Chains A and B, each alone.
Chain A
């Protein structure tokens, strides 16, 4: 059997991958700075954390386990967790609306949202 590194028809597969990538880039968040982080467990909101400049810690304890968040400079990250994988701890800090950190073993997610309580200004 001949085993070339590439064949002509590969163009279709690579084009498909590029289209998928471009599409997902368009769908990925607005990139606006967020002000609040929403913590959800099993899709249910459990707490809202203000993204402060000053350093603070926030502990979320559920039946699945404990995650400790560190908030600093308007960003949030998972500082510590008692899950086995430690994947959540390895996410880079997030601060833009739509960005998310997940901890799969704890069924937990942290998503940045634009503002904490409705519109900033209402013009009448």
Chain B
């Protein structure tokens, strides 16, 4: 299975120096790709009467990494791309916000993928919904305003739609990859 592509040995390190280098390079490439996608989205914001609604193209890369390289590398790529995007064109607040969404969504997707019952599309849709839920929760905590949850119905729909879109793109890419 593709999951074993860069599988590590029991001690946690890569099986060989060559495999380690290959894994590192793949991660770096995917991180760069995610950053480019984030930047394109940063330049072309969608306006739906509230900020934060976007397709999250960078999550295509995260979902791809989850299914192609496994949870561990998807996690590394996710952290790297969020921190770098915040440094390049975000802020401390946006990083906090993105980290909450990114980690909750990846955690949930990894668990659902492990269950091995659901399609990538449904896994990605759930990831999208939880991503937005986590972000609203952080916003409510920072401003101590539970009223923000009033935006949740819209965010839930947007998250599911974006997740389905990203999931389908990921499937199409993965089918070409193998």
- Chain A residues within 8 Å of B, Cβ to Cβ: 1, 3-7, 9-10, 12-14, 16-17, 20-21, 24-25, 27-29, 40, 42-43, 84-85, 87-88, 90-92, 98-100, 102-105, 107-109, 111
Contact = CB atoms under 8 A, between A and B. Distances in A.
Report whether over half of chain B's contact residues are helix, strand or loop; otherwise say mixed.
Answer: helix
B104 to A, nearest CB: 14
Given A21-B157, A24-B156, A5 B119 contact: yes
B76 interface: no
Contacts of A107: 142-143
B12 interface: no
Contacts of B129: 17, 20
Contacts of B119: 4-7, 10
Contacts of B175: 3
Given A6-B122, A10-B122, A28-B153, A109 B143 contact: yes
B147 A5 contact: no
B13 interface: no
Interface of B: 1-2, 45, 47, 49-52, 90-91, 93-94, 97, 112, 117-123, 125-126, 129, 139, 142-145, 147-153, 156-157, 160, 168, 171, 174-175, 178
Nearest to A103: B143
Contacts, number: 115
A90 B118 contact: no
A13 B150 contact: no
Contacts of A42: 143-144
Given A1-B178, A85-B94, 11 more contacts: A1-B1, A3-B120, A7-B119, A10-B121, A17-B156, A24-B149, A43-B145, A100-B147, A100-B148, A104-B93, A104-B139
A92 B53 CA distance: 13
A5 B172 CA distance: 9
A87 B52 contact: yes
Contact of A85 (B51, B145, B168): B51
A31 B114 CA distance: 42
Interface-central residue, B117, B168, B174, by most chain A CB under 10 Å: B117
Contact of B144 (A3, A9, A16, A43): A43
Nearest to B155: A24
A14 B2 contact: no
Contact of B145 (A28, A40, A84): A40
B139 A102 contact: yes
B122 A109 contact: no
A90 B151 CA distance: 14
